[in-house]
Structure 1
Amino acid sequence: MYQYRDGRWTEWICWRCGHYSSNTPAFVAQPHLYRDIVRKNGSFFMKKYARYKLVSHS
């Protein structure tokens, strides 16, 4: 899992399996809406995270 900071929110993504999670209010309220979001919008996430500093990798 890679961890990214986007402002005051943290997002976790696994580039291998496509898992996504976040501590944003939208994700916390309805995480089922984010199922397969990375696979469906791969180019968006690759562009977004390419410009953010990597916080950690586990």
Structure 2
Amino acid sequence: ANAEISERISSLEADVARHREDSAKAQAEVDRLLDILRQMENEKNDKDRKISELE
């Protein structure tokens, strides 16, 4: 019974580690996409500014 519990704990610890890694990867992707979004917003604002200057 003790060995089974130890195996189960090891298995759960491995699951937790894998989920932490997946979570970190997902967060990195969210950060990357937010950065792209910010860049696009800045480009749009620059274009809008240029357009209003030309009007």
TM-score by length of 2: 0.23
Which structure has the higher relative contact order (CA within 8 Å, separation 6+)?
1
TM-score by length of 1: 0.22
**Which protein is bigger by CA-based radius of gyration?**
2
Give the number of the structure whose residues are more often strand, by fraction.
Answer: 1
